[in-house]
Each structure stands twice: as structure tokens, then as C-alpha cells.
Amino acid sequence: MLKGLNALKQGSKVYFIGVGGISMSGLALLASGYGFEVGGSDMHPSERTKMLSTKGLKIYDCQVKENLMEFKPDYIVKTAACLPNNEEVKYAMDNNITMFDRSEFLGLITESYDSVINISGTHGKTTTTAMTSLMLLESGKDPTVHLGADFYSFNGTVRLGKGRDLLVSEACEFKRSFLNFSSTTAAITNVDHDHVDCYPTLQDVIDVFALFLDKLSDNGNVVVTGHCANTAESLKIALDNRKKAGRPEFKVFTCGLKDEKCVFTGKEPDMAADNVSFEGGLPSFDAWFMGEKLGRVQLQIPGKHNIDNSLIALCCALLNGGEPSSCIKALNEFKGADGRYTVKGTYRGATVVVDYAHHPAAARATIEAASHMPHNNMWVVFQPLTFNRTKMLFEDYVTSLLPCKKVLFSEIFSDREINTHEISSLDISKEINKRGGDSEFFENKEDIIPRLDELVKENDLILILGPEDIRELGDELVKKER
């Protein structure tokens, strides 16, 4: 029985609905590289859709049935943000065109490779995936890579290797997407309560990560952060399920600080950081694997959380043919994926940094990391992502942002739900001020710029946190400076 991409007719036409998305645009490029004729549509023309057009893909800037009548696709891939009443989706269903969700198509790709590293987790998976791919490339490997952000080494979100021997992919839990993926190495950076529209409770999240591990090939490898109790519970559930099913156990590799015992094993981590120090806010450490010292790592991105990310990436790379000294070299040169603590430039003499940290835990970690970077005052611009998440994690948003000198809020961004909760960023702002903090709310994000003009002085730090909608403000500020 044919599996993976081999189950599709070679040279056939694949059409992507919502092709301008970060992951969707990358998958469209991969499909083109695999030999399919590729087209797609997006209601919001962007630099990504322009790029796809220049690569020879047929791109439509509307979503009407006439597009499909003209393109005549054999297969359709649709984004998870696609609404049920979408005209192209309805036409495809009425005409029995085989249709895949984005994650199902990515699942076909994972089934097509001999070795697959799927990197999951509530936070840090993009950075960790990028690190892993860079280390494997430096070691002379030729992986295909799928990322959830642009990466300077690829000049985009994906890289197509020549063969089908190794794939490195970011694996997202939203709507149980990663349960479609096949893995030989599965990594979990951490497990936190997120995507509350899919997972009402933290236990629901823990359980789905256990199912993700259960998809791992027999005798596969699992790489995890050793200090996350939620991850340890997912591991326990998955191993118990395997034992009950009579399946072989997977091999677990833990990562963390050398002098901290792992929650799961009670022992020293397999991949460990020792002699940790910070210089100018940037962490450095000695890397150890299975009791052997590999070398000194000097990261170019801030924060203790990036020590965790780099240890997981280093372990994944070594388990898949990475050469130790090459991996250390790649880590020392890694400058981050786009939108993950990205220094955009300066505005009024202040450094402008953007980060996707839209979840309270991620915001807390990024703010802590930024606090150690050289600066006078730090001004935080924040936009929550999705109404459900903001309502469910309201208290966490307040406590994570309360310590900031000042927070400038933009309204909640969501392109996949209606605000049935009557929740607003203004509610968070008011609660922060009620508790003695200092925040302001701006219904129009463009009004934040004049307020920054009043606040910002030379050598300050402007930290813009949230989805792409608010991170674009960083580009606007830097352009105004030129």
C-alpha cells in the first residue's frame, strides 16, 4: 500500500486555500519542490503571496469557485482558519475533490521520510526547530525543514533537501494537528495550558501530548526538558499506554541544568548545561551529553528559556547524526528565527525588539530575558491572541505583565473566532492598574506610536509582544527612523 506523498498522483495539481499563512506558504513551496503543480488563494495579499507568485505558483487574491474551475486541482489543502462557508471549500465538497487539512498534508510529508524529528511544545518549538536544522546542516546533513517562521538561513520558512532521508519539522498541537505526524524522534519543549478553545483544561493538553508521543515509531527517541512536571506526566501516560498495548518503550532523553534533578527520572539530565553565566544578557554554558563534555556554548539570543531550547535542539541533532563540534559551532552562530526575539533596529535611539510571546508564560520568559539586556527603560507593547485564550488565562496575563514599568495594550487579535466572551485588552489593562501597575489601552494600534514618541528616550528598549499583527509595528517604527 502506498503511503505518504506516494499515495498522491505524481505531477498532479495541488491547491492551497489560505496559502498566505506561515505554514501554508511553506508547504506550498515544498509541494512544488516535490513535483506537483501548485496554486492557491488568500483573501489577504502579502509579501508571502507575492513571493509564491515569483516562484511560479498560481496565486489568487480572492476565494471564489471560479478559481478552482480554472485551476482544476486534483487535491486541495485548506488552512485550519478556513471557515465552513468558504466558497472554495463548498465547491470542492460539491465536486468530490480530495481535500486535506493543513496538518493532514504535513502528515503525508512526514510519512515520506526515513527519519523525522518532530519538535513540539507550548513554547519554543520554532526556535528549537531552527536550531536543530542549523546544527544538522553544519554537520554536513541535508535535511528538509518545515518551520513556523521565516529563518535567515533558508530565506523563508522551509528548506527542501535532495533526498527523503531526514525531515525536521515544527509540530503544533492546535486542533490536535500533530497527531497526524509520524516521528522517529519526538521532542517536547514544555507543556502549558494553551489553545483553550481546543483544550478546556490543562489535563486535556497533557493527554494530547501523550497521544503525540504514542505516535512515535517503535524504539524511537523522545527528547524533553527535565524540569517540566506537565511533560513528565505526558511521558508517564504514554509509556503506560505502550506497556498496556505490548509495544516497545521509546528511549527518553532529558535536558536541563547539570545540578538539577529531572522531574521524570530523579536523576541528572542526559543533556546538561553546566557553569552557566550571562554576559550582556546572553547565556553561555558548558554542554554535556551522557556524561561527556561537548564544549562551551555562547548563545546570541537571551534568556534562560533559550538554554532549554538549545539543549533540546542539541540532543535532537546528535541523535540524528549531528557532529558535536559542528553542532556547538552552529549554536554559537544562531541568531534566532524571525519574530522570536528579533532585533528590528532602533527608534528614537531605542532598540526595537519583536517577539511572538502572546501566551502569558512566554511573555513572562521574554520580558525576563529582555530585562537582562543593556537598556535604560523598557516599554512593553502587547497584543493578546484570540478571545478564548484571553478569557481563560486572564489572571495569568495580569500577573505576567504587572511587573513591567509600563505596558501599552493593543486590542486582542483573532482571525478564527467571534468575541462571544465580551473580553478586551482593556480589561487586562484596567486590572493591572487596579493592582498598582501601569498600563494603557489603544483601540487603534497606530495610536501607540505617538505615545511611544512621548515616552521613549535614547538607550531604551521597546519590546513588542504578540502575533504578526502587532509585530508589524516594529517594522513601522524602524522605517520611521530611517
Q: Are residues 442 and 472 in the same domain?
A: yes
Beta strands in 152-291 (DSSP E): 156-159, 166-170, 183-188, 216-225, 251-257, 271-279, 282-289
For the chain, what is the domain count?
Answer: 3
DSSP 269: -
CATH of the domain at 328: 3.40.1190.10
Q: Which pLDDT tens digit goes with each residue over 236-273?
A: 999 999 999 999 999 999 999 999 999 999 999 999 99
pLDDT recorded at residue 402: 96
Q: Tell me the β-bridge partners of 76.
A: 15, 99
Q: Are residues 122 and 73 in the same domain?
A: no
Q: Which pLDDT tens digit goes with each residue over 320-341?
A: 999 999 999 999 999 998 888 9
pLDDT recorded at residue 281: 87
**Helix, strand, coil share of the chain (percent; to 5):** 40, 25, 35
Taking residues 375-388, what's their average pLDDT? 95
pLDDT recorded at residue 2: 60
All 3 cell numbers of residue 224?
524533553
CA separation for the pair 440, 432 (Å, rounded):
10
Q: Are residues 88 and 202 in the same domain?
A: no
pLDDT at 118 over 60: yes
Taking residues 217-226, what's their average pLDDT? 94
Residue 140 in contact with residue 68, Cβ under 8 Å? Answer: no
Q: What is the mean pLDDT of the chain?
A: 94
The boundaries of the domain holding residue 63 are 4-105
Q: Are residues 277 and 374 in the same domain?
A: no
Q: Are residues 284 and 353 in the same domain?
A: no
In the numeric block, the cell 517577539 is attached to: 355
pLDDT recorded at residue 482: 64
Taking residues 172-194, what's their average pLDDT? 95
Q: Let me know if 348 is exposed, middle or buried by CB neighbors in 10 A (0-12, 13-18, 19+).
A: middle
Q: Are residues 162 and 211 in the same domain?
A: yes
Residue 191 in contact with residue 205, Cβ under 8 Å? Answer: yes
Q: How far is CA 112 from CA 89, 214, 320, 426, in A?
A: 26, 19, 17, 47
Q: Are residues 319 and 387 in the same domain?
A: no
72 C-beta neighbours (distance < 10 Å), count: 11
Q: Is the torsion defined by CA of 404, 410, 414, 417 positive or negative? A: positive
Taking residues 393-407, what's their average pLDDT? 96
Q: Are residues 306 and 166 in the same domain?
A: yes
Q: Which of 333, 367, 401 is the last residue of a domain?
A: 333
Q: Are residues 93 and 121 in the same domain?
A: no
Q: Which pLDDT tens digit goes with each residue over 280-291?
A: 889 999 999 999
Taking residues 163-186, what's their average pLDDT? 95
Q: How far is CA 100 from CA 21, 180, 255, in A?
A: 16, 11, 36
Q: Are residues 219 and 190 in the same domain?
A: yes
Q: Which of 333, 356, 373 is the last residue of a domain?
A: 333
Taking residues 3-16, what's their average pLDDT? 92
Q: Are residues 184 and 297 in the same domain?
A: yes
Q: What angle (nearest 5°) sits at the alpha carbon of residue 357, between those of residues 354 and 359?
A: 155
Q: Are residues 172 and 304 in the same domain?
A: yes
- Residue % of the chain over a pLDDT of 70: 99
CATH of the domain at 365: 3.90.190.20
pLDDT recorded at residue 129: 97
Q: Which of 289, 304, 333 is the last residue of a domain?
A: 333
How many DSSP H helices and E strands does the chain contain?
16, 21
- Residue % of the chain over a pLDDT of 90: 87
pTM recorded for the entire structure: 0.90
CA separation for the pair 133, 116 (Å, rounded):
12
All 3 cell numbers of residue 358?
502572546
